[in-house]
Amino acid sequence: MSLVDTPAVKRLADWDGDRLERLATEYDTPLYVTDLDRIRENFARFESAFDFAHVMYAAKANTGQAVVRTLYDAGADIECAAAGELYRAIEAGVAPEDLQYTAVNPPDRDLDYAVDLWADTPELTVTAGASMTLDRLEERGFDGRLAIRVNPGIGTGHHEKVATGKDAKFGIPYEEVPELVESARERFEFVGLHAHVGSGVLSGDLDDHRRALQKVADLAARVGDLEFLDLGGGFGVPYRPDEPPLDIEAAAEMVREVTADVDATIALEPGRYLVADAGALLTRVNTIKETPETRVVGVDGGLTSLIRPAMFDSYHHIRNISGGDREPVTSSVGGPLCTSADVFCTDRPIPRSEAKDLLAIGNVGAYGINLASQFHSQPRPAEVAIDGEDERVTRRRETFEDLTRLENEAPGNR
């Protein structure tokens, strides 16, 4: 089977349960497991479908160095939404000329870092989403490759918090772009337009996605003389086990049709599509509590390990690795934090869990470990990357000492 013929989604049931149990035993829990082969497969499938486009990886989905390096080695350039992501990408071995920086209300230190990087690597492209960002770049002596982010006024995606195409925070208002482009052409090496209209787009969202992208493509034709039109990412994956995957060929044909009259390179920035189903979170059951309302299953992972259910009300499939053949019992799975938001699911049928059982949570490769925190003084989890038969720790587990390390190093606490 070639890479492009691999299944469109890796379901949680497809993970080798014996291997996951062994990894949890060897490396403890909570534990992120990242399948690098699956990332390569997803990239090959995406690149094959969008063979007419320049494909970059949207690093914010997962900035782990193993993930970034895997995609870069596979042929993806890297799009970064913050200076720290630029730094992490370079640490992962990405050449600065293969980076694109999309500034969103950038702090001064971010712009300082980006401009210093550009001074040594003039191939770096900076994307600005506010006219003041252009002024701030010019004040720093930047006159290099610049793109302008467009706000088309239409958002798509799985949740209102990711429908960026209609959020005033992101991009220049649509009708103001032509005038700002003329100004940018006088002050910088203006190279393109950029838009990202939402995230988690599946086949049923393609019509809305088309409307948003068509507006941006029409604007690109109106502005003219572009090196590229960057349509962002947003292509989603199914989180529920019975939800069909995105028809990537249909998505590619839609983009091809929308941009048929655009005389510029089409660029895309997939993130979630490449990495989401390549990650699983392993967590161990420590407490079982029967209540009149539900069966409470307490685990050692929590919203500090995976915040998406609390932050976006996101569904993540849960598999009982230890007892998958048991009868399902309506259960609520939650972690060790003192907040009602610390739950992975509520009243969901799950094979009856017992103490010491290993549970796996699926589709955590995107916006999983990147959003982990030390809230409630919880050390962040470790990560193991699997690469064929090979396995390696790519992020060590934090210790209690790590919780106070920065405070102990601060002069005011010595």
Burial class (CB in 10 A: 0-12, 13-18, 19+), 347: exposed
Q: Binding site annotation covers 30? A: no
Q: Are strands 382-387 and 295-299 parallel, antiparallel or unpaired?
A: unpaired
The fraction of the chain above a pLDDT of 70, given in percent, is: 96
Q: Binding site annotation covers 270? A: yes
Contact 85, 63 (CB under 8 A): yes
- Residue 165: the pLDDT is 42
- Residue 193: the pLDDT is 97
- Give me the residue label for tokens 């396995």: 391
- Give me the residue label for tokens 């997939």: 270
- Residue 168: the pLDDT is 74
- Residue 4: the pLDDT is 55
> How many angstroms from the chain centroid is the CA of residue 351?
30
At 131, which helix (H) or strand (E)?
A: helix 131-139
Low-confidence ranges of the chain (pLDDT < 70): 1-5, 155-167
Q: Binding site annotation covers 72? A: no
Q: Which residues are identified as catalytic?
A: 338
Q: Which one-letter amino acid corresponds to residue 82? A: A
352 CB-near residues (< 8 Å, 6+ apart): 320, 323, 326, 327, 328, 329
Condensed to tens digits (0 to 9), the pLDDT of residues 107-130 reads 999 999 999 999 999 999 999 999
Token pair listed for 402: 């790590």
Q: Evaluate the CA torsion angle 400, 300, 16, 361 in order and state its sign.
A: negative
Q: Binding site annotation covers 290? A: no
- Residue 162: the pLDDT is 41
Return the domain boundaries, the chain.
Answer: 36-274, 277-407
The rounded distance, in Å, linking the Cα atoms of 212 and 84 is: 29
Q: What is the DSSP string of 283-318?
A: EEEEEEEE-SS-EEEEES--TTT--HHHHH-----E
Q: Which one-letter amino acid corresponds to residue 69? A: R
Q: Binding site annotation covers 271? A: yes
At 111, which helix (H) or strand (E)?
A: helix 108-120
Condensed to tens digits (0 to 9), the pLDDT of residues 42-94 reads 999 999 999 999 999 999 999 999 999 999 999 999 999 999 999 999 999 99
- Residue 167: the pLDDT is 61
Instruction: Answer yes or no: CATH 1.10.3470.10 is held by domain 277-407.
Output: no
Q: Binding site annotation covers 308? A: yes
Q: What is the DSSP string of 174-214?
A: GGGHHHHHHHHHHHSEEEEEE---EE-B-GGGHHHHHHHHH
- Residue 199: the pLDDT is 80
- Residue 158: the pLDDT is 41
Fold of 36-274: TIM Barrel (3.20.20)
- Residue 3: the pLDDT is 54
- Residue 2: the pLDDT is 52
Q: Binding site annotation covers 323? A: no
